[in-house]
A and B are shown apart, each in its own frame.
Chain A
Amino acid sequence: MEEEKEVMEEREVKERVVEIEHPLPCLTESDTQGIIKGRDLFGYVGIEAVLDQMRRKTMKAGFEFNIMVVGQSGLGKSTLVNTLFKSKVSRKSCTPNYEEKISKTVQLQSVSHIIEEKGVKMKLTVVDTPGFGDQINNENCWEPIVKYVNEQYEKYLKEELNVNRKRRIPDTRVHCCVYFLPATGHWLRPIDVEFMRRLGKIVSIVPVIAKADTLTLEERLEFKQRIRQDLQANGIRVYPQNEYDEDTEDRILNDKIRENIPFAVVGTDKEHQVNGNKVLGRKTKWGIIEVENVAHCEFAHLRDLLIRSHLQDLKDVTHNIHYETYRVKRLNESNANGQALSPLNRENGTLEKSDAESHL
């Protein structure tokens, strides 16, 4: 008798277990979405179907990603962006006299493209910054860039505070700022420290070592270590920041990244033949530097970080943290003035007065 009971219990348990496994094949079919059979309700709610719905919606709507590249002129910023997205998205390719002169940017320029991969559309905006740091007197050369970033936040804020706001607020906020460091091999230069300190408070910075084909592997390691020390000593927080790790999984992943920043990258858009394969690389008399070979440079890591694993995280950090900080600051300012939202004064941006007044 006891044996029989046990066997019955086992069978019940088995049945239950089996039932729970059943619903999966039914729900992935789009026809049976609304139809939930009676026995499937037992122990299964269907929350995971949300993922599918989300995926479908976002695929229809598309993504937006705004990336800003900052660095001295001649560090290969435009080339790197082209290499990252495997298409000619930077301003270098959009100017008419592309081959003749690699012209220097004079003002902040943003170029938008819509690139598509496997049905996923992405509106990519690359903000190219003028080659700052070239002049003899470089004081306050970071101001145009800081101003631009704050202006984007301001635009979004205004849209948000609007009474009749749009369903999808166009997001022009800078999600990621890639900061290019010249490969000197010594320490961070004072201008880099100043720049990153100011930018790090308002946007997520990802520092990279540009034109890293001038450093041997030992020099590269030493240089990275020194940069990390410098960043810590100056209180500059780069992405991914320690404080925003949500759980241990994230922390492990981000720790690995943090040990390797700044990434030493080499960019190019030319292809060469190596061992019968076509690879992106730079050909010199002493060898071919393959861009996507992890033994040569860390471009692949940077690409994975920016696009394959942390793209959504970058957007979230920008929206939840940097934008919120800005918003709080602005609303406090206007509260102090006793008005709904005071017009943006000259330091933070240059919005016209009429814009501000229309929203009061």
Chain B
Amino acid sequence: MAKLIFLWLKCLVSCCIVEAVFEDQVGKFDWRQQYVGKIRFSHFDSHVQSSKKVLMATEKNVFAALNTRTGELFWRHVDKTGPEGNIDAFLLHGQDALLVVGNGRLLRSWDISVGGLNWEVVLDSGSFQSACLIGQQDTVKHVAVLKKTVISVHYLSNGHQKWIENLPESENIDYQALYSGGNGEVYVLGIVPHSHIAIVVYSMEDGEIIKQTSVEAPWLSNIQTSCAVVGQGMITCVDSLTMSLYTLDMHTQSKMTQIPLQSLGLEVTPHFHPVLVSHQPNAAHQPLSEFLLQLGPEHHLLLQLNSGQMVVLRDFKPVRHMTPVLTSCVFVSESEHNLQIDILLKGLLHLSLFNAETGRRLLDTTQFLSIDPNVGKPESIYVQAFLKKDDSVSYRVLVQTEDHTLTFIHLPGRVMWTREEALSEVVTMEMVELPLTGTQAELEGEFGKKADGLLSMVLKRLSSQLILLQAWVSHLWKLFYDARKPRSQVKNEISIENLSRDEFNLQKMMVMVTASGKLFGIDSKTGSILWKQYLNNVPSNAAFKLMVQRTTAHFPHPPQCTLLIKDKDTGLATLHVFNPIFGKKSHITPPALTQPILQSLMLPLMDQDYAKVLLLIDDQYKVTAFPSSKNVLQQLQETDLTTTQIWEVIIPTEIQKVVTVKGKRSNEHVHSQGRVMGDRSVLYKYLNPNLLAVVTESTDVHQERSFIGILLIDGVTGRIIHEAVQRKAKGPVHVVHSENWVVYEYWSTKSRRNEFSVIELYEGMELYNSTVFSSLDRPHAPHVLQQSYIFPSAISAMEATLTEKGITSRHLLIGLPSGGILSLPKMFLDPRRPEIVSEQSREENLIPYAPELLIRTEWFINYNQSVSRVRGIHTAPSGLESTCLVVAYGLDIYQTRVYPSKQFDVLKDDYDYMLISSVLFALFFATMISKRLAEVKLLNRAWR
């Protein structure tokens, strides 16, 4: 008996094991793109002369090093999401990068050459204010961190705390800034708004207070925005009300000197808060005595403060009338005292270097660069200046634009690389089929048309075969032509023009919507971005819903996608209608939506132009149809669209709240009506297309009383088909609802583990009405089976595979926090798995029940290509029944194909043509020889 089980398990395993990827398939049909997010702080690695690193700390709590030559990642560290992983400050000193993380909770030092952690220390609680490196006698060995109430100094080498001191009168004074001039003293600047500035000077050695002064400043409300330390410890502030600059020598003076802007011949743009920028190239030295003053959105000045004298070195005012718009000025380089200006001039980026000491423009440093007007304004620039061999200054610039695009530019206006960091935050996506080429369309057309006579049909057949032959010959010719060229020149450039559907419809257009409001069209085969569109009127807290209204199947009508953009606060929505293949905005004007939108839904109905109808329900319960032609209204049999309540299920909100409502995917097909049992009878599936899975979570979060509930509701009648409650469990719940099953995952607070539960619905041994399903006519409640399993990992996203006809067995694709995407066969999540193996269950190929599901690395479809923070997995059917296209998106994007039941409809890619042909030839020759031999034998026998 045991032997039998063993044998049977063996065959079972051998049929399950095939899910893995073969090593030679790496990169054949999959690709990964890694992103970091929008930059918050960035520094160039200037430690080594020939360094190619640019370091960046981003708003996605990622700290990464990029190769400046290629734009690829050297390494990347992904911290926790949310405020606990938030990067507050980034200081770079030599080979050490110091990060303050989680509102001043942690101080980390990274070794930027290998990307490993040097040390990490926990700082005292209290909200973070500022951090700075402290130098002493030309060396920098310490870092100071200023919090609301304390200041602490740490060693750079090991992170140990040198000293920590409470700030005097911290309940009244708001300490905001830190300054160190390299003389062993630490200056802490605090403010009592509209009263005075408090300056506390600490000794770097032991943390003793050397001096404590307070200076009257009734006009000042915030040090960080309007003050800067310039030159030899001069605090310089700007005030827009009194239109003056104020200076104070921290070492000697106790009263601020007022310098009216008018005396310098300057003026502040009305309603603009002036900004001061100073530059301290090295923490061991004093800041430059030159500083930048921004008086208007386009008006920057370079000023110099020399022994109390204020001198305007250069006025970067728009010279020619209104055309050049100065967007930013930054200080660059440590030795050369240079300054970088960039000017946006109608889609043209204009960059040049100026000498900060004189205000003169440096020769040969101006560059023009035309940038796509579609990308928005430059938001921030980071400059790496360096000396060339002939001692002339050159520089590279990293520009971040409003749409989160990073562009790296080398001096003569050459774009080295661009990165679309908006793709680090994909919200939703769709996969759209590519259009047919002219020839393909013609061939297809032959089958569609009505027959008009035998002869013409034959002629048509012949002509289409001729076209095919022609295409084949030209393809051969191209192959031959390419083979003569060196390998490096042959590039299969994919552009929008030569996009066409491939044989098995495996190549599709991925339409991705990102949180920043930028849309992308990506070729699924190579991952290259074919079009991008930045929508600049998208609110920051928008919710998106992307719908394919018309596919490419309705030539000559172009395919059409509609993006619903809804402001989460006001509920007001706009529609963006576009062509998913070219990314162009459609000429169709969507309806103007004046009321907040509650819900949207796509109907399977089509108008005369084959566009599916989109219904939008506003807060007055009025319905807007798009497109709303007469044809549509006729089909809906109504002229004035309104809503009526048909049913309601009350879920008491004080006990539980609805988390997710999951229906089935509209493009899902099920081609097996039932399951064949061991005794050859059929168990029919309950395939209700209107079934909704509603997941609720308890409002009580105590681990003994929390629970999650799952309701299966018929969407047409409101009938509750099934209700299950998981006690001592909590979310987040991941649900997949498909065919006749619902799989959900939750956290069991009792056993502290993740658990999977599967519900399957069956009609029973007989089908009530096999021709058509109606929710209104189903007298028998379905049989419900449920089973739960332990899953040894947390989950970030879950989705089920989807194939063209639904014959192929299903797998669950599970995104794990470790970065793997697990392809778990659905047969492991089958509530009919028996506890005791019987003859019948063996006949049915059921796996005996085991409480724990296994995670096998062979089942990782992305092998070592980890995908960070998977937010969603999108599956789409291909033209092959065996193949399902998978895109996992999060911080990274990963695209691949999966074959849940192996590649049963195409020859495997390791198919041995040599073997089969050699066997055939061998057989052929063997028959020839044996025939000859037989002849000889017959002849001999005849002679005998």
Q: Do A and B come from one complex?
A: no
Which residues of B are at the interface with A, using a C-beta cutoff of 8 A?
Answer: none
